[in-house]
Amino acid sequence: MSKKDDQVRLRADNLRREIEEHDYRYYVLDAPLLSDAQYDQLARELSQLEKQYPELITPASPTQRVGGRPREGFGAVRHTVPMLSLANAFGKGELNDFDRRVCSALPGETIKYVVEPKIDGLAVSLLYEDGIFVRGATRGDGEVGEDISENLRTIKGLPLRLRRPVARLEVRGEAYMPKDAFARLNEARSEAGEPLFANPRNAAAGSLRQLDPKVTASRQLDIYVYGIGNSEGITPESHAGALAMLKELGFRVNPHFQLFSNLADVVAYCREWQGKRFNLPYVIDGLVIKVNSLSQQERLGATMKSPRWAIAYKFPPEQAVTTVKDIIVRVGRTGVLTPTACLAPVCLAGTTVTRATLHNEDIIKEKDIRIDDTVVVQKAGDVIPEVVEVLKERRNGREQPWRMPDRCPECGSPVARLEGESAVRCTSLSCPAQKEEGLIHFVSRNAMDIAGLGPAIIRQLIRAKLLSDPAGLYSLRYEDLAPLERLGSKSARNLLDAIAASKRNSLARLLFALGIRHIGERAAKILAAHFGSLERLMAADEDELTAIPEIGPRIAESVKAFFAGNQNRQVIEKLVQAGVNTVAEKESEGEGKPLAGKAFVLTGALSGFTRQQAQELIERLGGKVSSSVSHTTDYVVAGENPGSKYDKALALGIAVLDQEGLRKIAGIV
């Protein structure tokens, strides 16, 4: 090993230790020393080093928090110590009964209790060997859980390496979704017309059971640990001592735990938190009371379902009664119409509530919610106000049934509800409520691919009334662009060139760029190849559409609804007048090209260009790209970590190319 290699390895090790230290200070001590920008600079340097020297990557590196490949399923994990559920107490009397049982089983002994918040999340078990995180699992049935290690790695508050080595340590904790992350997630799902999560607990559980760790990483989960399942190397004598040890090792331990010498103080603490809980950034549904001495815990033992040394004090749900003054409709950035109840102001969970989401038309009908109804409201997961039920016995005959408007309240265009969906959507491409996001999608890399036209510039153009729909892009002039912030003379000219070049894009790209519901890149290619022109596609009926393999009734209905909109047709007419290509390249036009008639399969991580760019290169030169290897495959292009497609190619005797080989046969080297 050269001196330079030694220096690189040492720098990588130092960066990992430095990042881990800052993670500990940020997530555990809540006392960061660096700004976000300084922290990001360290993370980027480590990432670049590991990319240049892959042999330096370790499982505990901070760069390995987000797994790369989706998993096919979750393996089973048998817990070394069962993960039991807790018995519940709903008042002072049941807490007294618990205390009486403990004192009877330990006559004459001093009993101390630790009380800590009961976070409403997903219970998990974390296994460390020699100080390195090796596996994480769900509770499951208490005996056997699911292996969700890769998803847990994405949680930044979970240490991948302890601050000092411990031979073997199994830790119990609660993974959860903070209130603000839950609100953002449900807002995004509402905008997309997707089902909403009922509460942060369901959202956390659903996020940790995603097959793709990148989805989990996007959900911004966090974690607190609350106990030790099994250990070799640390021997605390009390639960409070165990929590202190866990914090020293680098774990996040909830700061609101308290040690008490009598039950009266425990009860007072429970009552105190019943109101204070709403001030926390995460949801708690109660407090957990545990006997502090681990020796006493062991002697108290457990039933088949729950430990005898712990109990959960559950808070009653906070609800309020108010009146529905009106029901209004908000149009989201994807065109979804969301009804919202306007309420007579009422205090709920520490705040004054004046509105509650009604989610969709089906829920309003199911609960029979009417204007002027008296209703019970609560906050879902202490976060989002919702109507729980209608007090129909209080109706006086003045209540008015409500129905979803048949036209968009923002632009007046018809609305549509596709079969099998609960969402009602505006059908207009020019609707101001969804204009911005539609334009951002139109110019994106996999759509019209207009380089240099990012969200910030699009927003400036909209505010300046220079852009209202995709066709308006092709009317922009130099004097429109040059004065914009972040542009200038050269950038403005480059952007105009990129816009002009996009006119020559394929019909498939244009179809995907239009943002038709359910039309992804593959469906766009299938439709472009079948109809050959945008004009023929617009004239097709649903029977003709559903006759195409892979085009089902939902896609057919969506296509028809889109092209039925008068404003959408006007935008398309302007695109045609601007000279945007609306005709598919004929198969015969591929003849004479370097890769004409050749079938390719891409596998592994390609360097020098993305998978999308490689596919477009092959197709531009007359070749076709398939997702699976067969006897009809001519070439398999293999990057790093190619997987089973590479093995199958070798078994079938199919030619395997690396990236340079692809460039060579494409004639670009």
- Interior angle at CA 224, CA 222 and CA 227, nearest 5: 150
The partner residues of 124 in beta bridges, in order of sequence, read 138, 173
Max distance between CA atoms of the chain, in angstroms, equals: 95
Looking at the structure, tell me whether residues 622 and 580 fall in a common domain: no
Looking at the structure, tell me whether residues 448 and 355 fall in a common domain: no
Looking at the structure, tell me whether residues 128 and 248 fall in a common domain: yes
Distance between CA 338 and CA 364 in Å, rounded? 11
**Which residues, in sequence order, are CB contacts of 202 under 8 Å at separation 6+?**
none
Looking at the structure, tell me whether residues 53 and 200 fall in a common domain: no
- Interior angle at CA 578, CA 576 and CA 579, nearest 5: 65
What pLDDT sits at residue 32?
61
What pLDDT sits at residue 37?
54
Distance between CA 62 and CA 12 in Å, rounded? 11
Distance between CA 40 and CA 277 in Å, rounded? 33
Domain closes at, from 314, 329, 355: 314
Question: What token pair was written down for 399?
Answer: 């209540």
- Report DSSP letters for 445-497, one per residue: TTTT--TT--HHHHHHHHHTTS-SSGGGGGG--HHHHTTSTT--HHHHHHHHH
What pLDDT sits at residue 36?
52
Looking at the structure, tell me whether residues 567 and 487 fall in a common domain: yes
Distance between CA 426 and CA 424 in Å, rounded? 7
Q: By residue range, what is the domain housing residue 482?
A: 427-585
Burial of residue 235, with CB atoms counted within 10 A of its CB: 0-12 exposed, 13-18 middle, 19 or more buried? exposed
Integer CA distances (angstroms), 255 to 460, 502, 557, in order: 45, 56, 54
What is the number of alpha carbons within 13 Å of residue 152 lying toward its C-beta?
29
- Note whether residue 197 is domain-resident: yes
Looking at the structure, tell me whether residues 569 and 609 fall in a common domain: no
Looking at the structure, tell me whether residues 442 and 471 fall in a common domain: yes
What pLDDT sits at residue 71?
47
CATH number of the domain within which 368 lies: 2.40.50.140
- Report DSSP letters for 28-87, one per residue: ISS---S-HHHHHHHHHHHHHHHHH-GGG--TTSGGGSS-SS--S---EEE-SS--PPPP
Looking at the structure, tell me whether residues 163 and 181 fall in a common domain: yes
Which residues of the chain carry a pLDDT beneath 50?
67-71, 587-590
Quote the number of domains for the chain: 5
What pLDDT sits at residue 137?
93
Nearest partner of 290 among 236, 224, 244, 226, judged by Cα: 226
- Note whether residue 78 is domain-resident: no
What pLDDT sits at residue 587?
45
State the catalytic residues.
118
Looking at the structure, tell me whether residues 502 and 462 fall in a common domain: yes
What pLDDT sits at residue 105?
95
CATH number of the domain within which 279 lies: 3.30.470.30
Distance between CA 386 and CA 341 in Å, rounded? 9
- Note whether residue 534 is domain-resident: yes
Burial string for 245-264 (b: 16+ CB within 10 Å, else e) reads bbbebbbbbbebbeebeebe
Domain closes at, from 281, 314, 347: 314
Name the amino acid, one letter, at 561: A
Looking at the structure, tell me whether residues 501 and 453 fall in a common domain: yes
- Note whether residue 142 is domain-resident: yes
Neighbour count for residue 331 (Cβ, 10 Å)? 22
Where is 665: in which H helix or E strand? helix 659-666
The partner residues of 337 in beta bridges, in order of sequence, read 331, 424
Task: Specify the pairing of strand 258-260 against strand 113-119.
Answer: antiparallel
What pLDDT sits at residue 69?
44
- Note whether residue 566 is domain-resident: yes
The dihedrals phi and psi of 328, each to the nearest 5 degrees, come to -110, 165
Looking at the structure, tell me whether residues 276 and 323 fall in a common domain: no
Looking at the structure, tell me whether residues 55 and 92 fall in a common domain: no
What is the sign of the dihedral through the CA atoms of 515, 519, 525 and 531?
A: negative
